[in-house]
Amino acid sequence: ATVDKEVDFANYFCTYAFLYHQKEMLSDRVRMDAYFNSIFQNKHHFQGKTVLDVGTGSGILAIWSAQAGARKVYAVEATKMSDHARTLVKANNLQDVVEVIEGSVEDIVLPEKVDVIISEWMGYFLLRESMFDSVICARDRWLKPTGVMYPSHARMWVAPIRSGLGDQKQQDYEGALDDWYSFLKETKTYYGVDMSVLTKPFSEEQKKYYLQTSLWSNLHPDQVIGTAAVVKNIDCSTATVDDIREVRSKFLSSIRGEGTRLCGFSGWFDVHFRGSTEDPAQQEIELTTAPSTYNGTHWGQQVFLFRPSVRVSEGDDLNVSFSMTRSKENHRLLEVEFSCEIRESTGQILPPIKNKFYIE
Amino acid sequence: ATVDKEVDFANYFCTYAFLYHQKEMLSDRVRMDAYFNSIFQNKHHFQGKTVLDVGTGSGILAIWSAQAGARKVYAVEATKMSDHARTLVKANNLQDVVEVIEGSVEDIVLPEKVDVIISEWMGYFLLRESMFDSVICARDRWLKPTGVMYPSHARMWVAPIRSGLGDQKQQDYEGALDDWYSFLKETKTYYGVDMSVLTKPFSEEQKKYYLQTSLWSNLHPDQVIGTAAVVKNIDCSTATVDDIREVRSKFLSSIRGEGTRLCGFSGWFDVHFRGSTEDPAQQEIELTTAPSTYNGTHWGQQVFLFRPSVRVSEGDDLNVSFSMTRSKENHRLLEVEFSCEIRESTGQILPPIKNKFYIE
Ligand SMILES: Nc1ncnc2c1ncn2[C@@H]1O[C@H](CSCC[C@H](N)C(=O)O)[C@@H](O)[C@H]1O
Ligand SMILES: Nc1ncnc2c1ncn2[C@@H]1O[C@H](CSCC[C@H](N)C(=O)O)[C@@H](O)[C@H]1O
């Protein structure tokens, strides 16, 4: 279920061809600091080495790799952004080290294998965009057996949250339905056509849009109302596409804090730069997109809201089944399912809440 | 310069597959009244006749055609909206007359030629979306020589306007550049990379976005400050794709009203339902999207703003050269150029203002 290649190019890649969008990523200080520190505090991984930057965009990671002492950097970029990357490399006088190659990393041929693969491939909730597939392909073809991955590890997290957004979305949804009923009346009265048979598909369409699509949010840490769980652990040096095509996890989360409302779940990720077992990092660096008061990222968190929300209190336990699969129509989009059983501290067990969401 | 067919389907057709979007069109009373009246005040065109509805969407025009007495209606729709159209036809008990066919009108085969082709093919400023190409194709293949087109005629209009939006857009553009300069400083200071070489392409990208993209607007008639001109006349019964691929027109517009500012131009369209010379309408109907206080449409007008605006007064004449072509990358998008010479009532002639815009 991969979309037509031309369609994928038109839809997925088009935003990356804008400097405006690259600038947004380049202005994310948490992201920039993590990659910058991972490189410059681990220069031994770069000095005299060959590097492949998968999806170089503006060229930033390739330039840093060169500045850290790489002998040669192959900087591959699918979009026309490659022209800007080349200009930037030249303006920083690194054209002898950094070679910018326009093309999909799946299609290119390098003259040698590399010591390091560096890439900023993470999408919303880590796997949206499915760009890690391309990194895996590049790794299997072009990384030396002794090579290291930047980043080396990635994790997906899920936690129960409270949020005021759910009520708002519910109201929007109900508003859209009210509007539909006036529309039906008008169309019947003025134009003699009864459209009420379309009420069901219309309400399903709107339900998906308002209530079943995950939301981008930068949550305050206080909105997390129970223990967070790792639902996926990825070793970037060994993971296969099959390993990441689906994510399934069952976990327990304990509610903390006095009486509060369980409004849904949130998902985020972190990645680590640890080098490899044989050639570990001197300084391990972490990049986290967890809810944070001061260190928000452009990824934020994905929020999955239930309605109605449920009253919970300290000591209640959530028994959660989580699954994430790729959308059948577009492998870069995701579908998420939650089943959540509440075991109250009194011992009472509430019937499981089941919900399906789309990450679009 | 036609985009890949799969890409076109993914991008152009996807919105039409949502009931939400069809409902927006079905809620446009000016649009609905025009088609409704054109059919029910000209029943002789439909009674006992065969009809082809190109792009039936929800099926509304096909249903009306059947209600007006058509013997058979072929309702062709490229998207999955065809399923909803079929449901709606059935719910209105017209399944013996209306046959819904899912597919591009370019690909379908009908068992007979038809007496009427009806279609609502108009995009922003008439030709955006280039859907009339499909109607032409259907007409040349499936309309009887004696057949009639609904609508039968279309016109594109251009007029000088005043608007406050230009200053706003100019400020947004300048704000984006200020922002860029802080970004350059930060990137140099914190991350050791000089990105100033990208200032030119960034500012061009932003200029296109803020200043060279036409805006959707529902203008007040008072914002039109000079005579409006027809820049294109289309006879739907005879026009070829070559006739509409480009639009070029030179016209004169006289400024009316006291001292005012020329901020740019606006473009809109109207279509007429007149039947054919041999088989004229009993009641001619017009659908106009001109600036209007009470009868705005979902098409609004397209607005093309110059900066800076120019002071003009009653009696000044504008000597305008207008051209519109299709975008090389996507035949459904348009590029517009204006060259405007101001001849003041004093006899003085100002140097021509030239501007290029994208209708995206
Ligand atoms: N298969 C592939 N081959 C080449 N480039 C790809 C790719 N998939 C995604 N990309 C590119 O990867 C980039 C990811 S965004 C990261 C850009 C840059 N490395 C930075 O850290 O700022 C985008 O520019 C996108 O166009
Ligand atoms: N080449 C083509 N073949 C079939 N359908 C097409 C088409 N090009 C556009 N369409 C469809 O034409 C419709 C135009 S919108 C108009 C819908 C409906 N006739 C109404 O008046 O409310 C869309 O639903 C679009 O999907």
**Residue A65 with chain B: CB contacts under 8 Å:** none
- Asked whether B62 lines ligand 2 (CB < 6 A), one says no
Res. A179: pLDDT tops 60: yes
* Euclidean distance between CA atoms A348 and A342, whole angstroms: 8
Distances (CA, A) of A133 to A130, A236, A244, B1: 6, 11, 9, 32
CB contact under 8 A, A193 and B11: no
- Asked whether A57 lines ligand 1 (CB < 6 A), one says yes
- B158 forms bridges with which residues in the sheet? B229, B267
* Dihedrals phi, psi of A197, to nearest 5 degrees: -65, -15
Give catalytic residues of B, as residue numbers: 120, 129
Across chain A, what does the average pLDDT equal?
Answer: 95
- Asked whether B288 lines ligand 2 (CB < 6 A), one says no
> Which one of the ligands is nearest to B106 CA?
2
Neighbouring C-alpha atoms within 13 Å toward the C-beta of A129 = 19
* Euclidean distance between CA atoms A148 and A238, whole angstroms: 11
**Residue A29 with chain B: CB contacts under 8 Å:** 190
The per-residue pLDDT for A294 is: 96
Neighbouring C-alpha atoms within 13 Å toward the C-beta of A139 = 23
For residue B328, the tally of other CB atoms under 10 A from its CB is 9
Tell me how close the Cα of B6 comes to any Cα of chain A, in angstroms: 6
- Asked whether A134 lines ligand 1 (CB < 6 A), one says yes
Beta carbons within 8 Å of A39's beta carbon, 6+ residues apart = A45, A46, A61, A64, A65, A68, A118, A150
Distances (CA, A) of A185 to A196, A200, A265, B26, B34: 9, 16, 39, 12, 19
* Euclidean distance between CA atoms B310 and A33, whole angstroms: 48
Confidence of residue A10 (pLDDT cuts 50, 70, 90): low
Query: Strand order in B334-343's β-sheet?
Result: B247-254, B317-326, B334-343, B353-359
Tell me how close the Cα of B126 comes to any Cα of chain A, in angstroms: 25
3-state SS, residue B153: strand
Beta carbons within 8 Å of A51's beta carbon, 6+ residues apart = A62, A65, A70, A72, A73, A74, A114, A115, A116, A117, A118
The alpha carbon of B22 and the centre of ligand 2 are apart by a number of angstroms equal to: 10
Residue type, A257: G
> Which one of the ligands is nearest to A88 CA?
1
Question: Of all protein residues, whose CA lies closest to atom 3 belonging to ligand 1?
Answer: A104
- Nearest CB neighbour to A10, from listed B11, B18, B36: B11
Please give the structure tokens belonging to residue A44: 């031994």
- Asked whether A130 lines ligand 1 (CB < 6 A), one says no
Please check whether residue A120 is in contact with residue A190, taking contact to mean a CB–CB distance below 8 angstroms.
Answer: no
Q: Nearest to residue B134, comparing CAs of B352, B332, B342, B346?
A: B332
Eight-class DSSP state of A316: -
Please check whether residue B65 is in contact with residue B308, taking contact to mean a CB–CB distance below 8 angstroms.
Answer: no
What's the first-to-final CA gap in chain A, in angstroms?
16
Tell me how close the Cα of B7 comes to any Cα of chain A, in angstroms: 4
Give the number of the atom of ligand 1 that is nearest the alpha carbon of residue A103.
4
Name the pTM for this structure. Answer: 0.93
Neighbouring C-alpha atoms within 13 Å toward the C-beta of B215 = 19
The alpha carbon of A216 and the centre of ligand 1 are apart by a number of angstroms equal to: 21
The alpha carbon of B131 and the centre of ligand 2 are apart by a number of angstroms equal to: 8
Query: Which mutation among B81, B129, B131 tests ligand 2's pocket best, with the greatest number of atoms within 8 A of CB?
Result: B131
- Residue A199 C-alpha from the chain's centroid: 34
Q: Nearest to residue B306, comparing CAs of B250, B195, B225, B191?
A: B225
The per-residue pLDDT for A3 is: 61
Task: Give the angle A132-A228-A264 at the CA atoms, nearest 5°.
Answer: 90
- Asked whether B9 lines ligand 2 (CB < 6 A), one says no
CB contact under 8 A, B3 and A10: yes
- Nearest CB neighbour to B197, from listed A64, A88, A209: A88
Please check whether residue B133 is in contact with residue B111, taking contact to mean a CB–CB distance below 8 angstroms.
Answer: no
SS (H, E, C) A263-299: EEEEEEEEEEEEECCCCEEEEEEEEECCCCCCCCCCC
Residue type, B224: V
Task: Give the angle B39-B45-B47 at the CA atoms, nearest 5°.
Answer: 95
The per-residue pLDDT for B10 is: 67
Q: Beta B334-343 vs B317-326: how paired, if at all?
A: antiparallel
* Euclidean distance between CA atoms B143 and B154, whole angstroms: 19
Buried-state track B72-106, b at ≥16 Cβ within 10 A, e below 16: bbbbbbbbebbebbbbbbebbebeebbbbbbebbe
DSSP track, A73-113: EEEEESSTHHHHHHHHHHHTT-TTTEEEEES-TTT---SS-
**Residue A92 with chain B: CB contacts under 8 Å:** 193-194
- Asked whether A297 lines ligand 1 (CB < 6 A), one says no
The per-residue pLDDT for A285 is: 98
- Asked whether B56 lines ligand 2 (CB < 6 A), one says yes
- Residue B265 C-alpha from the chain's centroid: 15
Please check whether residue B12 is in contact with residue B33, taking contact to mean a CB–CB distance below 8 angstroms.
Answer: no
Question: Of all protein residues, whose CA lies closest to atom 2 belonging to ligand 2?
Answer: B104
Res. A184: pLDDT tops 60: yes
Helix axes B19-26 and B81-91, enclosed angle (nearest 10)? 60
* Euclidean distance between CA atoms B174 and A150, whole angstroms: 37
- Give the pLDDT of chain B (360 residues) as one tens digit per residue: 456 777 776 677 788 899 999 999 999 999 999 999 999 999 999 999 999 999 999 999 999 999 999 999 999 999 999 999 999 999 999 999 999 999 999 999 999 999 999 999 999 999 998 899 999 999 999 999 999 999 999 999 999 999 999 999 999 999 999 999 999 999 999 999 999 999 999 999 999 999 999 999 999 999 999 999 999 999 999 999 999 999 999 999 999 988 899 999 999 999 999 999 999 999 999 999 999 999 999 999 999 999 889 999 999 999 999 999 998 888 888 999 999 999 999 999 999 999 999 998
- The ipTM (two decimal places) reads 0.92
Q: Which residue in this structure is represented by tokens 């680590």?
A: A272
* Euclidean distance between CA atoms A261 and A163, whole angstroms: 8
Residue type, B1: A
Q: Nearest to residue A271, comparing CAs of A284, A247, A288?
A: A288
Tell me how close the Cα of B189 comes to any Cα of chain A, in angstroms: 13
- Residue A22 C-alpha from the chain's centroid: 16
* Euclidean distance between CA atoms A322 and B125, whole angstroms: 48
CB contact under 8 A, A19 and B198: yes
The alpha carbon of B196 and the centre of ligand 1 are apart by a number of angstroms equal to: 21
| A33 vs A13, higher pLDDT | A33
**Residue B87 with chain A: CB contacts under 8 Å:** 197-198, 201
The alpha carbon of A79 and the centre of ligand 2 are apart by a number of angstroms equal to: 32
Please check whether residue A104 is in contact with residue A39, taking contact to mean a CB–CB distance below 8 angstroms.
Answer: no
- Asked whether B118 lines ligand 2 (CB < 6 A), one says no
Confidence of residue A1 (pLDDT cuts 50, 70, 90): very low
- Nearest CB neighbour to B26, from listed A4, A29, A187: A187
* Euclidean distance between CA atoms A141 and B151, whole angstroms: 59
Residues of A with CB under 8 A from a CB of B: 3-4, 6-7, 9-11, 18-20, 23, 26-27, 29, 32, 36, 58, 60, 63-64, 67, 84, 87-88, 90-92, 180, 183, 186-187, 190-198, 201-202, 205-206, 209
The per-residue pLDDT for B1 is: 43
Neighbouring C-alpha atoms within 13 Å toward the C-beta of B306 = 22
Q: Nearest to residue B75, comparing CAs of B58, B92, B91, B90?
A: B58
The per-residue pLDDT for B3 is: 61
Which residue in chain B is spatially nearest to A182 when comparing CA positions? B27
**Residue B61 with chain A: CB contacts under 8 Å:** none
Confidence of residue A348 (pLDDT cuts 50, 70, 90): very high
3-state SS, residue A215: strand
Tell me how close the Cα of A26 comes to any Cα of chain B, in angstroms: 8
